[in-house]
Structure 1
Amino acid sequence: MTLGRENVPDRRTVGVALAALLLVGAVVAVGAGAYFAVGLGPDEAALDAVESSGDVTVDRLDGATVVRSGPVTAETRGLVYYPGARVNAESYVPTAAEAVAGRDVAVVIVDMPLNLAVLGPNRADDAREALPAIESWAVGGHSLGGAMACRYAADNADEFDGLVLHASYCDRDVSESGLRVLSVLGAADGVLDAERERESRANLPPDARVVELDGVNHAGFGAYGPQRGDESVPTDPAAMRERVGNVTGAWLAG
């Protein structure tokens, strides 16, 4: 079939169409970036309670937040912590406070690009520089942050002593890594893929400690409010964070 001139779009029409497509793409990209960049949380009341308690110290650095209970020495146990997807790093300060209170433990919560650990998987490299005195480090995180921490640990097992998974699982084999591993789960977690988590336990060392906490859901690991798809629980959010933090801090200190 032969196209007549009346059926062939002119250059101006094509140019306008391409410009429109580019504009739509840009709007979508900006909207998606803003969606993730805003982040969930933190709960300001929970943050205020931590900073007014006097039990812990919160130091805000460039790219990270350090939570500690006292002077940091070579004996202090450190944890580099990766936030969950679209969760503001500050949302984990209250949980970290529960972990370090009364213990020689410090937690470095890492800021992530657009609040996505998948965009900053190697940020534990620089995070440890915040507390150079510490000799024993673990890396961990919540949800997607935990998964990315596992990948990082798998590639850098000789530089770390432990791995902490909060409502997460490993998709890399660290069973022969020599790492101590703690996996803390919420019995009321409606977000985590429970079947995949259980299957992935084969990737953990035989002596990995797996703890399931009753009355704790996915959002209970941080202070950022309810999460879509999660289970509703009667447990007070502060109580959930206390349970998670105490299990984690005791394991780190031990």
Structure 2
Amino acid sequence: MADVVSEREEPVVAQDRPGWWTWTVRAVAAAGLVVVAWVLLTGWGAVVHGHPLYAVLLALTVVGCGVALWRAARPRTPRAGWRRVLGVVGLVAAVAWVALVAWLRPFTAEQPALDAMTSDDAVTVTESATRIELEPAGGGDATALLFQPGAKVEARAYAAVLRPVAEAGHTVVVVKQPLGIGFLSTGALDAARAARPDVERWVVGGHSLGGVVAATEVDAADSDAVAPAAGLLLYASYPAGDVSGTLTAPVASVSGSQDGLSTPAKVEASRADLPPDATFTVVDGAVHAFFGDYGPQPGDGSPTIPHDDARAQISAATVAFVDEVAG
């Protein structure tokens, strides 16, 4: 009888992990797959046309979730001590990873930006894994615009607002930032210089967080002897610190009166951090998301002007500033 009881109890010794653990792992893995599916269904264009790093993260998420589901289905002996702690740490890290992948979902470009990505007799549009170039059909002059998108905003979203700059004769380069974060593309100006040795001077601009990065790039390169950063263009943005005493290049700030993120008060306060000759243009009725074409943005204000009207004013101010720098 003792042998029978022992035989019956033996499987309990080699039992699987507790049910709650197995189901938690499965839930996190399933959530990861759902997040990837949601990103691909709602932001396919941004994933395909964005910097490849985010697509790599999505692929790694699918692989990791698949492995986790496979392992959760296998019988495993109970873990104790440091191995159990390591498992908990890994599970917490997995939850954070899935949350990060979801948060990094880009704002996808919409019309008329998508139509502006088409080449015609006036502008030739080329696209690579790291940048978009809008080149005047007859070749650009010696002044070009390098543009840093706002956080998580797809680069194509700025094609319509910046295309008039190319139509005016200046090459435009829009940066595809890794993971849509401007601070991960601080070497974009040097890369553009290397790729375009024909450009003698660069206007560096950016939207929101991209403008913060642009200000840093211009402050560091406006006195360079070769292909200097000859102008700073801020779209609903301002520098991270005081550059009023170090920045020698001209500055143009373009903002919206209804912006709920880079509010008028914040833009006004940035005057003290910029050179005294910086120019400020306020588009009455425009919001933060009107500086590109990517749909509404959480936390933004309510517009009191049509997007098309705001875009036209922003483009006009941009062309005027680049023309001024070009001389």
Report the TM-score range of the alignment, normalised by the length of the smaller protein: 0.7 to 0.9
Give the corresponding residue for 2:230: 161
Q: Which residue of 2 aligns with 1:18?
A: 86
Shift of residue 47, structure 1, vs aligned partner = 1.2
- In structure 1, distance between residues paired with 2:240 and 2:116: 36
TM-score (norm 1): 0.86
Please give the alpha-carbon distance, in whole angstroms, between the structure 1 residues aligned to 2:302 and 2:122. Answer: 30
Contact 1:76 1:104 in 2 (8 A): no
**Structure 1 equivalent of residue 214 of structure 2:** 149
Which residue of 199, 208, 218 maps to 2:269?
A: 199
Superposition pairs for residues 152-231 of structure 1, below 5 Å? 152-158=217-223, 159-176=228-245, 177-231=247-301
Answering whether residue 133 of structure 2 is matched by residue 63 of structure 1, we say: no
Change (3 A) 1:205 1:229: same
Rounded Cα–Cα distance in structure 2 between residues aligned with 1:52 and 1:107: 13
1:202 is displaced (CA, Å) by: 1.4
Distance, in Å, in 1 between the alignment partners of 2:116 and 2:127 is: 16
The CA deviation string for residues 181-229 of structure 1, in whole angstroms up to 9 with x for no partner, is: 1100111111114433322211211111111011211000001001111
Q: Equivalents in 2 of 1:193, 1:137: separation in Å?
A: 28
Say which structure, 1 or 2, has more relative contact order (CA 8 Å, 6+ apart): 1
Q: Please give the alpha-carbon distance, in whole angstroms, between the structure 2 residues aligned to 1:111 and 1:82.
A: 8
The runs of 5 or more residues in structure 1 that have no matched partner are: 1-9
Deviations 1:49-79 (A, max 9, x none): 5527654221113310011333335x33211
The CA RMSD measured in Å over matched residues stands at 2.2
Show the 5 A alignment for 1:4-15. 12=80, 14-15=82-83
Check 1:238–1:99 CA distance in 2 against 1; reply closer, same or farther (3 A cut): farther
Alignment match of 1:94 (pick from 152, 155, 160): 160
| Corresponding residue number in structure 2 for 1:39 | 106
* 1:140 corresponds to: 205
Cα distance, 1:72–1:174 mapped onto 2, change above 3 Å = farther
The match for 2:115 is 48
Q: Distance in 2 between matches of 1:184 and 1:144?
A: 14
SS at match of 2:272: helix
Are the equivalent residues in 2 in contact too, given 1:80–1:128 (CA < 8 A)? no
TM-score by length of 2: 0.68
Task: Show structure 2 runs of 5+ residues with no match.
Answer: 1-77
Given that 1:50 and 1:56 are in contact with CA atoms closer than 8 Å, whether structure 2 keeps it comes out as no
Q: How does 1:111-126 map to 2 (within 5 A)?
A: 111-126=176-191
Report the residue type matching 1:130 in the other structure: A
Q: Which moved more, 1:221-230 or 1:170-179?
A: 170-179
Q: Distance in 2 between matches of 1:123 and 1:157?
A: 15
| Residue 131, structure 1, aligned to residue 199, structure 2 | no
Looking at structure 1, the residues matched to 97 and 138 of structure 2 have their Cα atoms a distance apart, in angstroms, of 44
Distance between the aligned counterparts of 1:44 and 1:13, measured in 2?
A: 56
User: Between Structure 1 and Structure 2, whose CA radius of gyration is higher?
Assistant: 2
| Further displaced range: 45-54 or 135-144 | 45-54
Query: Is the helix fraction higher in 1 or 2?
Result: 2
* Matched position secondary structure for 1:223: coil
Give the Cα separation in 1 of the matches to 2:79 and 2:298. Answer: 47
